[in-house]
Amino acid sequence: MRRYFSRIPARWSDLSPARRGVFLVVGAICLMAALAFMALAVDVGVASLTKSQMQGAVDSAALAGAMEITNALSTAGTNVSNVFTYAQAQARTKAAAVAQMNNVYVNPSTDVYFGRRYYDSTTKTYLIDWNAGASQTNVVKVVARRDSSTSSAPDAKVPSLFAVGTGGTTIRTEAVAFVDPRDMVIVQDFSRSMNFDSYFTTEVDTGLTQTQIEDCLAMVWSDLQPLSLGSMTYTPQYFSLAQTSSSVTGTVTFKGASVSVSNSTGLKSVKLTFSSGSTQTISVSGTSTKSGDYSGSGRNSGARITSVTISAYKVGSTSQTVTLPTHTYSSTTVCNAFGLTSGNYPYSGGNWSSYVSYVQTETALANYGYQDMYGGMTFLCFIMKKYPEHSNNKDLWKTRHYPFQACKDGQQLLCDYLTQLGFDDRLGMVSYDTNHRMETVLNDSNPDFPKIDISAAPISKDYASVAKLMQYKQAAYYSDATNMGGGMKDAIAMLDAYKRDGSRPAIILMTDGHANTIDSGDSSALPAGWDWNALFDYNGDGSADYTSTDSQVKYVLAKVKIAVDKGYTVHSVSVGSVADRDLMKAVAWLGNGYWLDVPAGTTVADMSTQMQTVFAKIASAVPPARLVPSN
């Protein structure tokens, strides 16, 4: 049998020359492949790291841009003609700056977009309209690109080891930041004290000077024109009455506890009759005294004078006298003197007789030097104290009376701000006085009033209508007390019924006074588990910094706690001299909101400015922006 054997070389040198170096080539190829895969891995890693850095930068930039819109709107000066365009420009700049802080380039002109995110009730999803950015926005998108072929450009492609000849790797990232919409209810104080800064009163110390109050009255008078009050002028004057007998004329000017007498001949005596019924006769020495000021003395000192009887010398005589008809100071003689008749009383509430009585007896008029003085100024004091309700006076809505006007200005500014902001916020209104109600309809017979009905959606984006619901109201529109807790109750009910899913609900509680009534049949008991120390420990020392035993106060706080437990934020605003600032601070603390104070002792112009600042702060206190998917 024949056997075959393979010859196995003992060393490399035994190989044939034609096969030498094959493995060297294979090794080189493998090494090149390994280097290529390494370069690819490095490229992918660098691109991934760069993209991650860019994503973090645009996330931060989008959030900053969204929040900058509100900041810019609230800080834009009066020289800014288009605040919305200004706010968007500021947002672009801020977004680019924040990206640059993270070493990422964003072109503010081309890489920042504005849109409006809204809920589509048909698809039950949130959509973004990027075409709405020119007029309103609640969404900001920031894009970062590395796609320029110019290697020195800030947005140059990422240098690549593997992608030879391509100039680098193109990367694009984007982020979208959204500001959650708010459903807000403003709770306005409609009590009578909301006109206290605009007339003479002893009920509170307004902190205003007499000149400032008189300026307010002049403003109200101007707003009420045309208004005819018989022959009375705006500037108050004392009542004067002339009586004649035997060609002798005597004029008496009544000034309360004194009178001024002026006669055409010498005075013989002046007999005073007082409100108590007692009389006192004052003899006049000589025969040539024709005038003088007279008042009671002794037990009649300071007594009001109701009539005067003059005894005077006849014309051309120093011995013969004549007694003139009695000069009587009464509602009838005053009305006759000023041409005040039932036909020319301008309003449904009150009458000329009650006005005369008010001028004669009102302590506040005496304190300011206007008692027994008749005119437009004192008439305004009369109607604003005695008959301020719309049912009694349908014109006070158009007057600038304070602090009510400041609240009107504030609500108008809030509506204007929300319009400019375009963050899809909604606003509703509640008012309170002795009672409380949701304000949704304006349907007055007054032709100057617009017709408004937002009852189908009381928390509305129709900001113009919400502003008008306040614009056409007046202090004590319905009644005069202060049921603050009742106002809170209606605000909670409005949010419960009409707030949107996903919105941030908030209540803005206003007052210039103290809560002084609660709903009939309601309890002021605090909720179970109420702990003053836990709820009102402002400084963290374990003890309450606010407590109260007042039933009306507890009624308010109980309602605030209900709101808080529902997730509603409660802001509070105190205005004027007598507002319960301690309570309003406690309301905001418990409600996780702002307490904003408009102090007393300022001019009404200052008050309006401060109130507008207050509402601007609330309006700009939007929730923090958050990132959402782009669609």
Position with higher pLDDT, 261 vs 197: 261
CA dist., res. 249 & res. 243, Å (int): 6
Q: Scan for tokens 């120390």, then name that residue.
A: 533
Cα–Cα–Cα angle for 583, 585, 588, nearest 5°?
110
Q: Are residues 610 and 472 in the same domain?
A: yes
User: pLDDT tier at 419 (50, 70, 90 boundaries)?
Assistant: confident
The domain that holds 529 is classified in CATH as 3.40.50.410
Beta strand ranges found along 65-134 (DSSP E): 112-120, 125-129
Q: Are residues 39 and 62 in the same domain?
A: yes
Q: From the CB of residue 525, how many other CB atoms can be counted at a distance below 10 Å?
A: 11
pLDDT, residue 4, reads: 46
Q: Quick one: what percent of the chain has pLDDT higher than 90? A: 67
Q: State which amino acid sits at residue 219.
A: M
Q: Considering only CA atoms, which of 578, 201, 190, 579 is closest in space to residue 386?
A: 201
Task: Count the domains in the chain.
Answer: 4
Residues for the chain: how many in total? 631
Rounded mean pLDDT, 359-387:
98
Residue where a domain terminates, one of 353, 388, 423? 388
Q: Are residues 422 and 377 in the same domain?
A: no
Q: Are residues 249 and 217 in the same domain?
A: no
Crossing angle of helices 83-101 and 22-75, rounded to 10°: 140
Rounded mean pLDDT, 67-84:
74
Q: Are residues 352 and 423 in the same domain?
A: no
pLDDT in tens, 160-196: 766 555 678 899 999 999 888 899 999 999 999 999 9
- Parent domain of 287: 237-332
CA dist., res. 53 & res. 486, Å (int): 53
pLDDT in tens, 461-509: 999 999 999 999 999 999 999 999 999 999 999 999 999 988 899 999 9
Q: Are residues 325 and 352 in the same domain?
A: no
Average pLDDT, the chain: 89
Residue 9 lies in a domain: no
Q: Are residues 148 and 76 in the same domain?
A: yes
Q: Is residue 488 within 8 Å of residue 468, measured between CB atoms?
A: no
User: Which DSSP state fits 461?
Assistant: S
What pairing do the DSSP bridges indicate for beta strands 248-254 and 373-374? Answer: unpaired
With a cut of 70, say whether residue 55 has pLDDT above it. yes
Longest dimension (CA), the chain: 192
CA dist., res. 162 & res. 146, Å (int): 17
User: pLDDT tier at 78 (50, 70, 90 boundaries)?
Assistant: low
Rounded mean pLDDT, 101-113:
94
Q: Is residue 347 within 8 Å of residue 390, measured between CB atoms?
A: no
Q: Are residues 287 and 139 in the same domain?
A: no
pLDDT in tens, 7-52: 445 554 555 555 556 666 666 677 666 666 665 566 677 788 889 9
Residue 11 lies in a domain: no
pLDDT in tens, 305-347: 999 999 999 999 999 999 999 999 999 999 999 999 989 999 9
- The verdict on pTM exceeding 0.75 is yes
Q: Are residues 471 and 592 in the same domain?
A: yes
Residue 77 lies in a domain: yes
Residue 155 lies in a domain: yes
Q: Are residues 109 and 134 in the same domain?
A: yes
Residue 6 lies in a domain: no
CA dihedral 157, 159, 162, 164 (to 10 degrees): 70
Q: Are residues 360 and 503 in the same domain?
A: no
User: Which DSSP state fits 159?
Assistant: P
**CA neighbours closer than 13 Å in the CB half-sphere of residue 563:** 37
User: What is the separation of C-alpha 407 from the centre of its chain, rounded to a whole number of angstroms?
Assistant: 5
Q: Are residues 457 and 481 in the same domain?
A: yes
CA distances from 175 to 178, 406, 424, 628 (A): 10, 41, 20, 8
